[in-house]
């Protein structure tokens, strides 16, 4: 029993911080020029939120669905699973969220009404700014290689943050918050103890 008490949470992570961020570097090199598609997705979302056309909710939901599916397959299942044995389960969670977004956002069009709460709009807009502008700059600010950047549509954390931002901006079903909040907790703990 004394041996069990000597373990720390970081002992249960089977990869180092350098290995984790190296995955993003290799991934970014392998998928180039899909980063341009990610930029287009981001611009379409910003345009739809700014101009508020009738199609905005369904298009934004569709872009989120594609993003969650891509991250599930291309990053979590194909890459992250190489260093993290439960990454395939994370990928399954991302597919589940893509299914929920398809059902509620695309089919039922439940992302068609903006919230009236100014605080939710400010939080959502702030999260979008962090996701689209600041998040890709984190490697520069932390002294890592610029190739280790993470972008919405291509990496899990910014995709989750962008989704949460959209959910704050639109009147959205509570069910759509579950997987993103679970991911924020998992990712937050992982980054904290790494």
pLDDT digits (tens, 9 = 90+) for 179-190: 999 999 999 988
φ and ψ of 173, to 5 deg? -60, 140
Q: Are 117 and 159 in contact (CB under 8 A)?
A: no
* pLDDT recorded at residue 11: 56
At residue 13, the pLDDT reads 64
- Tell me: cis bond preceding 81? Omega within 30 of 0 counts: no
Tell me the C-alpha distance between 122 and 157, whole Å: 20
Residue partners of 94: CB distance under 8 A and separation at least 6: 68, 69, 71, 72, 76, 156, 179, 183
What per-residue confidence (pLDDT) applies to 10? 57
Cis status of the peptide bond prior to 104, with omega within 30 of 0: no
Residue range 119-171, pLDDT digits in tens:
999 999 999 999 999 999 999 999 999 999 999 999 999 999 999 999 999 99
Q: What token pair was written down for 156?
A: 């899990």
Check residue 9 and give its pLDDT.
55
d(CA 135, CA 83): 23
Going by pLDDT thresholds of 50, 70 and 90, the confidence category of residue 2 is low
Average pLDDT of the segment spanning 85-94: 94
pLDDT reported for residue 16: 78
DSSP-assigned letter for residue 170: B
Mean of the pLDDT values across residues 55-68? 97
Confidence check: pLDDT of 1 > 70: no
Give the DSSP letter of residue 106.
I
**pLDDT average, residue stretch 21-31:** 94
Q: Residue 9, Cβ neighbours under 10 Å: how many?
A: 11
The CA distance from 27 to 34, in Å, is 11
Structure tokens at 149: 């950047």
Predicted TM-score (pTM) of the model is: 0.91
């Amino acid at each position: 029993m004394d041996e069990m008490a000597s373990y720390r949470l970081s002992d249960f992570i089977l990869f180092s911080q350098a290995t984790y961020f190296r995955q993003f570097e290799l991934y970014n090199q392998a998928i180039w020029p899909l980063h341009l598609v990610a930029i287009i997705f981001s611009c379409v979302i910003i345009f739809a939120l700014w101009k508020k056309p009738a199609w905005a909710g369904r298009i934004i939901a569709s872009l989120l669905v594609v993003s969650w599916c891509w991250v599930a397959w291309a990053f979590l299942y194909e890459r992250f699973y190489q260093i993290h044995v439960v990454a395939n389960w994370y990928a399954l969670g991302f597919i589940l969220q893509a299914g929920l977004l398809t059902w509620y956002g695309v089919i039922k069009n439940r992302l068609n009404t903006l919230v009236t709460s100014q605080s939710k709009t400010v939080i959502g807009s702030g999260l979008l700014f962090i996701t689209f502008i600041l998040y890709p700059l984190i490697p520069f600010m932390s002294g890592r290689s610029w190739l280790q950047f993470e972008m919405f549509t291509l990496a899990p954390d910014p995709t989750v943050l962008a989704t949460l931002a959209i959910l704050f901006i639109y009147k959205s079903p509570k069910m759509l918050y579950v997987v993103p909040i679970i991911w924020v907790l998992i990712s937050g703990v992982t980054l904290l103890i790494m």
